[in-house]
Amino acid sequence: MSQDDFAFAERFACLRLARTDGVGPVAFQHLVGRYGTAAKALAALPELARRAGRAPVTYTPEQAYAELTEGELMGATLLCVAEPGFPEALRVLDPPPPVIWALGDAALLHRRAVAVVGARVASAAGCRFARGLAGELGAAGLVIASGLARGVDAAAHEGALPTGTVAVLGGGIGDVYPPENAGLYRQIAERGCIVSESAPRRKAQAKDFPRRNRLISGLSLAVVVVEAELKSGSLITARMAAEQGREVLAVPGSPLDPRARGCNDLIRQGAAVCEGADDVLRAIEAIRGFRAPPPPAYVLGDEATPPELLERVFDLLSPTPVHVDELARQVGAPPGAVFAALVELSLAGRVELAPESMAMRA
């Protein structure tokens, strides 16, 4: 089936389901898995959420239509996880992003890519290195992914403009940040590809950056960190890359340079040393594709979760994430039933689902 064949109604339902309060990537994946299509899951939502204690705040058809119109007027394309045009690299993530917007050459999302990320307040040498590395990797046929931040990110995009670069935004398409990267943004939109998990023009918030970082590493065979202080956001990207089974490389630096601390620490933890493009090419040469996504961790029954199970699960939760299996042990119910309860509580806005089968009070 081609992208055009992907029914408009299902696409529309995907967007509405993905944007519904309490439906993150985890709940989205399980609801579509349970009901077969986004449209059917969407139809089941009100009842599920009501039973969990609250009417769901679904994304209305008007909102979805407005988002689609806005994005398409900007020239962007909505890609839904279930459709054939969705990038394989993101489809295999656990969980995959339900929908992404792409502006520019979306074909770049299907090519072998490497992420080059790093400090916003980077040294001139760090930027020069990132630019050169991106150029060399681009010449070797790789797409360069990064986050359009100041410093290393911008330099990496610049170096890869002639050969292909993908910028993943924290906010929506059209939310250009920082302002000084507006020119670079336009060039990437024309010659590369801008990607976002958010609705067009939505302003980036702090919580969007881990999501953005997850997509940067997800799109890539390897993540190269160029200059990063300890506690830098680039280290989150590196950690996500490792969790996603991607290669992690770091550019070493002097212990006297605070901007090298994060990179040296990554190397200490097992990241490969990156002194140039050869190191990256060596790290990825054997990779022929992405790891298949893991099978669903929990098999959900068709039956509605008994209300008292919903409350017993909720009572066990706190703002600290806890694993579904642990909850299942404590309530003495099958993990699948507990997970279903968590999804329903999430729809009611009472629970937050995190990757790796963790849950906490919203």
Residues whose CB falls within 8 Å of the CB of residue 247, separated by 6 or more in sequence, listed in order: 221, 222, 223, 241, 272, 283, 284, 287
Binding status of residue 267 toward its own copies by CB under 8 A: yes
DSSP string across 190-220: HHSEEEESSPTTPPP-TTHHHHHHHHHHHT-
Closest to 223 in 3D by CA, of 87, 117, 109: 117
Span of 44-52, 104-112, 258-266, 314-322 interacting with its own copies by CB under 8 A: 258-266
Compute the distance between CA of residue 258 and CA of residue 250 in angstroms, rounded to an integer.
Answer: 14
Binding status of residue 286 toward its own copies by CB under 8 A: no
The helix or strand, by DSSP H or E, that contains position 317, with its residue range, turns out to be none
Q: Which is nearer to its own copies, 231 or 288 (CB)?
A: 231
Q: Which is nearer to its own copies, 1 or 256 (CB)?
A: 256
131 close to 158: Cβ distance less than 8 angstroms: yes
The alpha-helical segments, DSSP class H, found in 201-360 are 208-218, 233-243, 261-268, 277-284, 307-316, 324-331, 335-347
Q: Which is nearer to its own copies, 210 or 258 (CB)?
A: 258
Span of 65-73, 83-91, 196-204, 260-268 interacting with its own copies by CB under 8 A: 260-268
Q: How many CA atoms lie within 13 A of 320 on its CB side?
A: 3
Compute the distance between CA of residue 273 and CA of residue 263 in angstroms, rounded to an integer.
Answer: 9
Smallest distance, Å, CB 282 to its own copies?
10
Smallest distance, Å, CB 126 to its own copies?
8
Q: Measuring CA to CA, how many Å separate 133 from each of 143, 148, 334?
A: 12, 16, 50
Smallest distance, Å, CB 157 to its own copies?
20
Interface with its own copies (CB under 8 A), residue from 272, 281, 354, 360: 272
Interface with its own copies (CB under 8 A), residue from 70, 243, 257, 311: 257
What is the signed CA dihedral for 187, 192, 197, 199, rounded to 10 degrees?
A: 50
Strands 99-104 and 76-80 come out as antiparallel
Smallest distance, Å, CB 118 to its own copies?
13
Smallest distance, Å, CB 123 to its own copies?
9
Interface with its own copies (CB under 8 A), residue from 1, 268, 285, 308: 268
Smallest distance, Å, CB 331 to its own copies?
42
Using CB under 8 A as the binding rule, the residues of this chain from 117 to 136 that contact its own copies are 125, 128-129
Give the number of other CB atoms < 10 A from CB of residue 38. 26
Q: Which is nearer to its own copies, 227 or 352 (CB)?
A: 227
Binding status of residue 186 toward its own copies by CB under 8 A: no
Using CB under 8 A as the binding rule, the residues of this chain from 216 to 255 that contact its own copies are 251-255
Binding status of residue 296 toward its own copies by CB under 8 A: no
SS3 content of the chain, % helix, strand, coil (to 5): 50, 15, 40
Binding status of residue 29 toward its own copies by CB under 8 A: no
Q: Which is nearer to its own copies, 85 or 252 (CB)?
A: 252
Residues that bind its own copies (CB under 8 A): 125, 128-129, 251-257, 260-261, 263-265, 267-268, 272-276, 279
